[in-house]
Each structure stands twice: as structure tokens, then as C-alpha cells.
Structure 1
Amino acid sequence: MSPSPMGKFKFSCIILPFFFISSILFSQNLQLKISENPGFERLVIQSDAPFVYVMMPERDYLSISISKGDFDFKEKIFGKEIIKGVSWDKNSRELKIYFNKKDVKFVSFTLTDPFRLVIDFSEKSGKETQEESSNVVIESGKYPKETKTLQRRSPQIIVIDPGHGGEEDGAIGPKGLKEKNLVLSISKKLKNIIEQRSGLKVFLTRDGDQAKSLDERVSIANNLKADIFISIHANASVRKNAKGAETYFLSLNATDEDARRLSQIENLGSEIEENSDLKLILWDMAQSAFLKQSSILAESVQMELNSLLKTTDRGVKQAPFKVLMGVTAPAILVEVGFLTNPEEEGMLSSDSFQEKIAEAIYRGILRFIREREKY
């Protein structure tokens, strides 16, 4: 019988000492090791070579996507005080760790010679809250030298682009919240979440109130050989009741008049080439499948924004955003909400709501990675 999810899963960080390993399950080239120690239980995934991993805390279990290697089991029940059991799906490359406890926290780190992903689980105390757990600091996995096949199938570098900056404020809400400050805060939160829960490398096109041209942002992504590019913005409208999040990927023709007008605003201050040049860029991107992947990434992020934020779903759209042109990777632009809507400005100014936005985008990235590996 497959282990059943139990209770609500919460997590936070605590550094704990190493104790002996008590039981080992051998596999073809991955080993799963479980140990019981005073105050915590340790799970170790050992491999002959480094692998890329992405951890996703769900309501009642921890999901870990592993880039390569295989276990020789589908399900294992341990019946430990905290860890109830594990399941392994070879097709989706997903390991699920189920719990007997309702409130579980964890910390992860990696070791070398041989490569090991170590995760320590312990029961959360009553004083620890969900807000505190969002600030968990977990060491990210070290990056292996992957083969070309793995680099194609498993993204390793993500570039996050906080829109505007410097003298360019972007949209400004009725109470004075500036887009440039809002999106930088969300971008930093997103970077932290990705680095805390995965072995992915994350870079920001700006980490302070700096002015960056649209061409500079594209160059940063390409020079870093980004596998995913996400530009984060906040919306504005003459209609004060306009609200909700929407996600864009590149197209010569805008989906609707609002999308066309928005792209014109975001492209201000940047020279746009004639349509023939843009068509050439789009043709090149289409040949390398980036447009298809960008559409999947946009759908994945928008779906998670709808699920977590419970705001108006404005859907996935297309428009000729200059910041998306020429990026040699799946690239999207996310409008997280309307600063011109007083109610939404209030929500966007909340640190907890910004955390939710970052969490939703992170979950969208994971959804995209899983979908991408199907083809």
C-alpha cells in the first residue's frame, strides 16, 4: 500500500549534528539511507556522481525531483516516528517523503566524496509559525558538471529581472508604492526560495536601485547562459478596478489592445527595430523551440499564481516586449497585480503577500521543469 499523506506539512531551518546511519536501501546507482537520532531523523540520498535536485514542500509530504540516477524500489514504508515512508516515480523522477507528524521542519545540505544530499527532519515546536518558516535558510546543492543532454533537459541557471530601477520608477500606487521597489523585493524573495529548496543557480539583473537598459538585461541573461528568464513587473491602468495577475511570452502581435499598450509602456526608452528584424528574432526563437517552452513556462506560472493568490485570473497573453527579445532561453514577463488599484496596492505592499507571489512563481518554475522533461 502506498504511504498516505498525513496532516499539514510546515518547514523551517535548524542545523543539527551528525549521528550514525542506521539503515541503508541500496539501488542501481542511488542509495537511500535513513537514520533515527535524538530529536531528528536523517534521510541521505547518495550517488556515484552529483545530480541536480529540486525540493518542493507540499501540504503533507516533501517532493524531490532528481535529475539522474534511479532507485530499485517504488515504495518503502519505514514507520519511523517522523518519516512514514517514501515513494519513487521513475517516469517523473520524483521522490516523495511522507510523514507521520503534522508539523515537520527540515534542513538540507550536500556533501561530497561521494555526493550526498542530506535532509534532517524534526517536529516543529508550538511556538514556530508558518511566517517564521518562510525564512528558512537551507544550503543549496552544489552544481555538477552535467552532460549536454542533462543541460538541455534540466535547467540549472535562472535569471530573474526586477523591472525598472534608478530614475525609472515604473507604476506608482495611490499610496506611493513604487513598482521598482515592489518587484525588487519580490525578486529577492523568489531568489531566496529557489536557492533554499533546490540546486539551481539564481541571478538578478539588478540587486538594488540601479538603472538597467532593456538590452543590458537581455545581455546579462545570455552571458550567464540562462536556462530560464523571468521579468517581474507590476501593472497599471486608467481603470481603478482593474486587478489580477497576468503572464506574457513573446509575440510579434499583441493578444489584445491592453497587451499592446502595456508593451509600449514597458518598451519606453528602448529603440525597437523594424518588424522585419523582430520577425527574424521570433523565427530564430521558434526554430530553437524557445517560444513553445516560453508558452509552457507562462502557463505554469499563471496557473500557480491563480491557485495561491486567489485573485482575478487575467490569463496568459502575448506581446512584443523588448526585454524578452533575443533572450536565448524560455522567457516570460509576469505582471503580479495592479498598483493603480487601491485594494491591490495594499495587498502588494504586504510582505506576506509578496512571499505568496514568490512561492507561486517558484511552483510555476517547478511545474515547467517537470513538463519540459516530457519532451
Structure 2
Amino acid sequence: MQSRRTLLKSATALVAALSLAAPAIAETNEPLAVVATFSILGDMVERIGGDHVAVTTLVGPDGDAHVYQPTPAAARAVSEAEVLVVNGLDFEGWLDRLIDASDFNGARVVAAEAVEPIAYEDDHEEHTEAESHDHDDHDHEEAVEAATHDHDDHHDHHAEAGHDHHHHGAFDPHAWQSLENAVVYVDTITAALAQADPDNAGTFYQNRASYVAEIEALDAEIREIVADLPASRRTIVTSHDAFQYFGRDYGLTFLAPQGLSTDSEASAQEVARLIEEIREHNISAVFVENIADSRLLEQIADETGATIGGTLYPGALSGPDGPAPTYLDMMRHNPTTLAQALGS
């Protein structure tokens, strides 16, 4: 009987010791703290990291990273992050200020670092006011002035709210609009997560393999969708110049009144030139964007008789109930929307 009591006491002590040790064990299995600058990168990190990452996304669904202003909460999140995933190519013009404010000392991962970027020459600001007068004899002058006036009001609102006018560098930063580049993004993110959390590297690479297979399958699906578009309907008008990678990959031409950033100015001459191209190419539909002010495109549609063909997602996912809650959903939604409006 004495020995049984001794065994019970020993067992009780062992259980108590293990229960006290459990929180310490759980702490070592906590997910990796990762901050992603915008929703597309956040979705990629979650797909690769799974339950082993805790992702904070700075610019969330339907948010415009072009005009984002970091908050104190964002600085705290970055300061606590073990990994910070950014796009690069001068896309996040506010990033350096945020990092300086947060005293970040983790691993900074540039997702687009290994892509081959498209060189970009922004001519939206090169036209002088004198040049714009060359279009005074067009009968659509008043519509152009009204459209650009409304658009200027939108920019004035940003300026009053404290938004910086951000201009991208020599390359188009919207590299995620190519699924081929997306594989590069995924490889870069996977390697960074594996280095930060080697115990779960095997899982990260397994998730990477299945994700890449889905990306490649979607690429084939999009090629079939685009193949049905007539040659006469492969010139597409959107709000800002964010789809050059997509156009390169699938043989489409994208035109826009604004440059690489939604915060860039659209001059009266640029709008007039775009109106002429819409008429010249008999473009029947133009497409607004979830992150851009739609008034300028609506004015252009009214002037040309084009319809609004739908909403495209250039650089931000939709909310969970929208048509583009994940990166793959977004990349499928855009060509499907184009085909529905232009295919007939």
C-alpha cells in the first residue's frame, strides 16, 4: 500500500511538472511573426506559411498602397515582426520612413528582387501647358476639362489629407500581374520563411509546390480565356498603368490616363489622346479599378460612348465576400471580366 501511495505521489508530481512546462513548450511553437506590406503579399505568405505564420498585412483588401500612410499600429507591427515581406521596385514609397520609425531588426524580404522588371518611361508629366493647347480645336474639349478637373479635385483631397505624391522609379513595380513572376515571388518568400523557421522548412516547401502547381494551372486557364478574344478587342483601357506585365504575357495592350501610381496626374492632353485612341480602335468598354477613383474613366466613357465593362483588381484583393479574396482569385477574375465585356 505504501509503495502505491508513493507511486501516486510521484505520478502527481510528474503531471504537475509537465503542466508547468507546457506553456514554455507552446511558446517555442508559436507561429512566425510576419508583416506583409499589402494584401497580395499577405495572401502569398499565408498560403506558403500556413499555421506556422501569423501575418499582419499593412494595406488590406481594397486598400491603395500608392497613397497609404503608415500608422503607429503599423510601426508597432513592423517592430515586432521577425520577417517583413515587401514588393520592392520602389512600389512602397513610404516603406523606409516606416522602418526608421519602427526600429525594425528582423529579416527584410524583397519579393520582386529576382524578377526581370519592365522598364517604364512615364510621359504623363512631360507635356507642357503649351502643348496641351494643340487640342483646343477638338469638340470634346469641355468634356476633357471636366474630367481632369474632377480628377484634380480627387488629388487635392489627397494632398489635404496629408498624402504624399509618390512617383515610382525606372521600372514598373506591378510585377505580380505576371503569373510567371508570381512563381519568383513564391520562391523568394518560401526561402525566407525556411531560413527564419528551419524546423518547418519542409512544410513551407510542400506548400510552395502545391501553390506553384495551382499558379501554373491558372496560367493555362487564362491563356484559354484570352485566346477567345478577337484581335480587334485586345486593346484595353483601365484607370492606371498597372497591367503591363499581364499584357506582355497574354498579348494584350493596356492604355490608361494615369501612370504607374493612382496618385499620378492625368493631363488634359493625355486624356484627349486616350479619347482619340478609344475612338480610333473602336474600344467599346473601359474598366475601372477597385483602388482608383472611377470618375475620370466614367467621364471618358461618356465622351466616347464606351460602357464600363467591370471592375479590375490591379494591386489589392477584395474582401472575403468579394470576387478576388485571394491572389489566384484576383488573377482569374480580371481576364474573366475582360472576356465577358469584350468577347462578344
Question: Shorter-chain TM-score category?
Answer: under 0.3
Bigger Rg, which one:
2
Give the TM-score, by structure 1 length: 0.25
**Of Structure 1 and Structure 2, which has the larger fraction of its residues in helix?**
2
Give the TM-score, by structure 2 length: 0.27
